[in-house]
Amino acid sequence: MTDTQLRVAVLGAKGRIGSEAAKAVEAAEDMDLVAALDRDDDIAELTKAGAQVAVDLTHPDAVMGNLEFCVGNGIHAVVGTTGWTDERFAQLRGWLDKSPQTGVLVAPNFSIGAVLTMLWSKQAARYFESAEVIERHHPNKADAPSGTATRTAQLIAEGRNAAGLGAQPDATSTALDGARGAVVDGVPVHAVRLRGALAHQEVFFGGTGETLTIRHDSLHHSSFMQGILLGARRVVSTPGLTYGLEHFLDLG
Ligand SMILES: NC(=O)C1=CN([C@@H]2O[C@H](COP(=O)(O)OP(=O)(O)OC[C@H]3O[C@@H](n4cnc5c(N)ncnc54)[C@H](OP(=O)(O)O)[C@@H]3O)[C@@H](O)[C@H]2O)C=CC1
Ligand SMILES: O=C(O)C1=N[C@H](C(=O)O)C[C@H](O)C1
């Protein structure tokens, strides 16, 4: 270990993504993996290990407790864990207000293709009357819809609202519960759970005489690793809350 190495910890280090993130941190020349913690470990290990950044890839039930500890101890955080609500963001901002030098990145998705899907969906939204999101994940996923699909729908709604678009056309008057998906800010979101799937999303737009589909597929866990490492490098010099990896990408 040298003084210039970034001291990174991974929370959820036995999980599907956390285990890969721990390997990616270990392999990064400018980082040291100083702690790899999972459910039964004591989070106080982070301070003992001198962690500068904690990468949280745990569970929606665990992430807030982890963040309260990290921010309270001046440890920056890179968060991939889902389950974010307005109330949770308000709580996190409250903790950050008391620790103004600390940075937290909350990234609904660390893969570049998914980030672009979200940004392009917001851009496209203003031009189309109809927009729906279908996400597809492995059946071991705890939450539905995915954090990425939820954020995509929110961004589509922002694009629609800025363009003055009203409610989407939909004459459905009889439907089985759930047939039209969950509605996020006026945008239907459908979640498929499928053995063999990893993380996939299609965003459908419909206008007069045309449709547009933006599709992204994460085919391997490695799709998330570059974004996690970039987040860790950048969050240490970005105090406060950053929502979305796009803020750390040079997108022109
Ligand atoms: N933003 C992004 O790009 C990505 C985000 N994710 C998100 O990351 C999260 C994890 O996903 P995934 O790896 O598939 O899930 P897993 O269930 O495979 O991994 C989560 C791990 O965290 C552990 N854990 C639970 N509570 C705690 C705790 N308090 N402290 C430390 N570890 C804990 C779990 O233990 P146990 O099994 O005993 O519960 C498990 O080992 C999900 O919210 C997922 O949506 C995933 C991929 C990419
Ligand atoms: O649980 C997963 O696997 C994933 N979770 C994130 C989400 O809910 O959007 C990111 C990606 O879709 C993989």
In the sheet with 182-184, reading across from the earlier edge strand, the strands are 182-184, 187-193, 130-137, 199-207, 210-218
Q: Say if residue 17 carries a ligand binding annotation.
A: yes
Nearest CA to ligand 1 atom 2: 109
Does ligand 2 come within 6 angstroms of the Cβ of 109?
A: yes
Q: Tokens representing 145?
A: 């819809």
Is there an atom of ligand 1 within 6 Å of 9 CB? no
Q: Please tell me the predicted confidence (pLDDT) of residue 2.
A: 57
**Interatomic CA distance for residues 115 and 100, integer angstroms:** 27
Blockwise average pLDDT, block size 10, the chain, 252 residues: 86 98 98 97 98 98 98 98 97 98 98 98 98 98 97 98 98 97 98 98 98 98 98 98 96 80
Closest ligand 2 atom, residue 142 Cα: 1
* ipTM of this predicted structure: 0.99
Q: Annotate the chain with three-state secondary structure.
A: CCCCCEEEEEECCCCHHHHHHHHHHHHCCCEEEEEEECCCCCCCHHHHCCCCEEEECCCCCCHHHHHHHHHHCCCEEEECCCCCCHHHHHHHHHHHHCCCCCEEEECCCCCHHHHHHHHHHHHHHCCCCEEEEEEEECCCCCCCCCHHHHHHHHHHHHHHHHCCCCCCCCCCCCCCCCCCCEEECCEEEEEEECCCCCEEEEEEEEECCEEEEEEEEECCHHHHHHHHHHHHHHHCCCCEEEECHHHHCCCC
In short, whether 14's Cβ falls inside 6 Å of ligand 1 is yes
Fold designation for 6-106+222-248: Rossmann fold (3.40.50)
Q: Which of 41, 58, 85, 226 to mutate to test the pocket of ligand 1 (most atoms within 8 A of CB)?
A: 58
pLDDT at residue 252 in the model: 73
Q: Cα–Cα–Cα angle for 214, 220, 221, nearest 5°?
A: 110
Q: Euclidean distance between the first and final Cα of the chain, in Å?
A: 35
- Give the whole-angstrom CA distance, residue 149 versus residue 132: 10
Q: Where in the chain is the domain with CATH 3.30.360.10?
A: 112-219
Residues carrying CATH 3.40.50.720, the chain: 6-106+222-248
Ligand 2 atom nearest residue 17's Cα: 3
Nearest residue by C-alpha to atom 44 in ligand 1 = 81
User: What pLDDT, on the 0 to 100 scale, is given for residue 184?
Assistant: 98
Q: How far is residue 12's CA from residue 3's CA, in Å, rounded to a whole number?
A: 26
Tokens, residue 91: 């709580």
**Cα 93 to averaged position of ligand 2 atoms, centre (Å):** 23
Task: Compute how many other C-beta atoms are within 10 angstroms of the C-beta atom of residue 216.
Answer: 23
Q: Is the peptide bond before 145 cis (omega within 30 degrees of 0)?
A: yes
State how far the Cα of 67 lies from the Cα of 17, in Å rounded to an integer. Answer: 18
Ligand 2 proximity of 152 Cβ (cutoff 6 Å): no
Catalytic residues: 137, 141
Q: At what angle do helices 16-27 and 225-235 cross, to 10 degrees?
A: 60
Whether 159 lines ligand 1, by a CB cut-off of 6 Å, is no
Amino acid 28: pLDDT: 98
**Which CATH number does 112-219 carry?**
3.30.360.10
Instruction: Find out whether 8 and 55 touch, Cβ atoms under 8 Å.
Output: yes
How confident is the model at residue 3, as a pLDDT?
74
